Every structure is written in structure tokens, then in C-alpha cells.
């Protein structure tokens, strides 16, 4: 499939970014590699501004759910991150060859329901891959920030998270319940939606889950999506 020109992409909004190791290469061999990658991301996140709402650093690939004001910044940032980490990896392990698999993916988030569900998909990646039995046991993921209250050097809190409850404890409980709806489910269908296609199809299941977990007055938005009161500032309306 040929690439569409960058001018066709939404200039700002929310994106699911995926960076994969070449031939399923192990990108992070020890904890020091994860920490080096985090330092690199922080450096270029400041240089080419964007926010990370959710992330999962997996042994062979990386997921980010980002908010960006200028898509050119995101492209520059990810390219710089990959190059800088490549240099770290080759120096440390005397590695030769391609470390990353081609161009990174940047999939636009096209609805608020997609925003919620994609964040959950990212934070359950380690569980779905069989690396961890529960999300609490995987350190390199933003789940710990939202549910366990752990410090996370990459996360900018999602604006919608504040609207889930009146207290920190209530917000964590609601969000944990939302995440755990998918803990024991196969992620094959989710992977088709969040990694291989550009637009989400039926979001009715996500709608009902959010309504049930929030247990509060909800509001209607486009396409009959049901969500809590708090709303992200801006969402992309077109795919690429």
C-alpha cells in the first residue's frame, strides 16, 4: 500500500504510535535499556513537544498514545528517539544491522471511545503477550501511574481521567475496572483494530462499559458515543 502525502494527515490531535524492532529483535535486554530509552524519549519530547497519555515499552516494540499539536513535531521526535536509541544499543551490545522495523506507525484516534479503548489496549499489551499475568506486575507501562499512583517520567495525565470521579481513589477504581474487563479476553480482535486498521468500527461495547463503570451522568457526542462528562480538547476527525 502506497503512503499518502503528509499534507493529508491531521495536523494535530491524538495518535497511536507503534515502533517495532526489526525481525522481532529484542530492543530492551535489561532494565538499564528501558531507563536509557525513557531518558531519550524525555529529551526529544521536550525538544519536539508532544504529550504521552499512555505507553507500553515491550521487549520487541513500543506503544505510545500521544497528543500532539503539530504532526511534524511527532515525526521528528520519533525519528530522533529511534536513532538515538539505536546508537545506545549498538555501542552497548556491538550490534550491527537495522534495529527498528521500517517507519513507525502513527494511527489517528478518530473518536473519544477509540481514545479510551486504545489506551486500555496499550496498557494490557504485556498481559496479552503473556509477559505478565496482570497489568500491576508489568513495570514499563503507564497503568502503574493511573491505577497504582506510581511516578511515571513519560506520562502527561489524560484530561478525561480527572472526570472519572470526584477523588483519586474513585478515579483509580473506575479506571481499573475498565481495564480489567479485557484482562482475560483474547486481544486478537483488538490488535486488528488498533494496529492493522486506521479506523475503529463498532464502539458500542466500549460505550456501555464506560457508562457502567462511571456510574454517573454521561453525555452524548457524535456517532452516539457515550462518555463521562470530561472531554479531551480536540480530536482528529479524519484518518489517513
Return d(Cα 8, Cα 161) in angstroms, integer.
30
pLDDT at 11: 59
Q: What are phi and psi of 159, to 5 degrees?
A: -60, -40
pLDDT at 225: 29
Taking only the tens of pLDDT, the chain with its 240 residues reads: 334 344 444 557 899 999 999 999 999 999 999 999 999 999 999 999 999 999 999 999 999 999 998 888 899 999 999 999 999 999 999 999 999 998 899 888 888 888 888 999 999 999 999 999 999 999 999 999 999 999 999 999 888 888 888 899 999 999 999 999 888 665 554 544 455 433 322 334 444 444 444 444 433 333 222 333 333 333 333 322
Residue 91's CB: how many other CB atoms inside 10 A?
9
What pTM value is reported for the model? 0.76
190: enclosing H helix or E strand:
helix 188-191
Q: Which domains does the chain have, with CATH numbers?
A: 8-227 (3.30.70.1290)
Q: What one-character DSSP code corresponds to residue 239?
A: -
**DSSP string spanning 71-94?**
HHHHHHHHHHHHHHHHHHHHHHH-
| Helix, coil or strand: residue 140 | coil
pLDDT at 1: 32
| Helix, coil or strand: residue 234 | coil
Query: From the CA atom positions of the chain, what is the Rg in Å?
Result: 18
Q: To the nearest 10°, report the CA torsion of 208, 175, 200, 63.
A: -170
Residue 133's alpha-carbon distances to 30, 56, 129, 169, 183, in angstroms, are 20, 15, 9, 23, 9
Q: Which long-range contacts (CB under 8 A, 24 or more apart) does 101-104 make?
A: 101/20, 101/21, 101/22, 101/23, 102/22, 104/17, 104/18, 104/19, 104/78, 104/79
pLDDT at 99: 96
pLDDT at 149: 94
User: Which cell goes with 38?
Assistant: 525513557
- CB-hemisphere CA count at 13 Å for 234? 10
158-182 as b/e, with b when 16 or more CB fall inside 10 Å? Answer: bebbebbbeeeeebbebbbebbbeb
Amino acid at each position: 500500500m502506497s503512503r499518502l502525502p503528509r499534507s493529508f494527515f491531521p495536523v494535530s490531535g491524538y495518535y497511536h504510535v507503534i515502533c517495532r524492532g526489526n525481525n522481532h529483535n529484542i530492543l530492551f535486554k535489561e532494565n538499564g535499556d528501558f531507563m536509557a530509552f525513557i531518558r531519550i524519549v524525555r529529551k526529544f519530547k521536550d525538544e519536539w513537544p508532544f504529550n504521552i497519555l499512555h505507553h507500553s515499552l515491550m521487549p520487541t516494540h513500543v506503544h505510545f498514545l500521544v497528543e500532539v499539536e503539530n504532526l511534524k513535531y511527532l515525526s521528528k521526535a520519533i525519528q530522533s528517539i529511534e536513532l538515538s536509541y539505536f546508537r545506545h544499543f549498538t555501542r552497548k551490545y556491538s550490534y550491527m544491522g537495522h534495529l527498528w522495523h521500517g517507519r513507525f506507525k502513527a494511527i489517528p484516534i478518530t473518536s473519544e471511545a477509540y481514545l479510551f479503548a486504545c489506551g486500555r489496549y496499550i496498557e494490557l499489551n504485556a498481559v496479552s503477550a503473556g509477559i505478565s499475568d496482570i497489568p500491576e506486575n508489568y513495570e514499563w507501562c503507564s497503568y502503574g501511574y493511573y491505577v497504582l499512583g506510581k511516578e511515571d517520567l513519560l506520562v502527561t495525565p489524560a484530561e478525561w481521567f480527572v472526570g472519572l470521579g470526584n477523588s483519586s481513589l474513585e478515579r483509580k477504581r473506575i479506571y481499573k475496572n475498565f481495564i480489567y474487563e479485557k484482562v482475560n479476553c483474547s486481544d486478537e480482535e483488538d490488535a486488528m483494530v488498533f494496529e492493522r486498521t486506521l479506523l475503529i468500527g463498532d464502539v458500542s461495547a466500549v460505550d456501555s462499559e464506560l457508562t457502567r463503570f462511571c456510574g454517573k451522568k454521561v453525555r452524548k457526542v457524535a456517532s452516539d458515543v457515550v462518555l463521562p462528562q470530561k472531554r479531551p480538547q480536540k480530536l482528529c476527525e479524519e484518518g489517513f
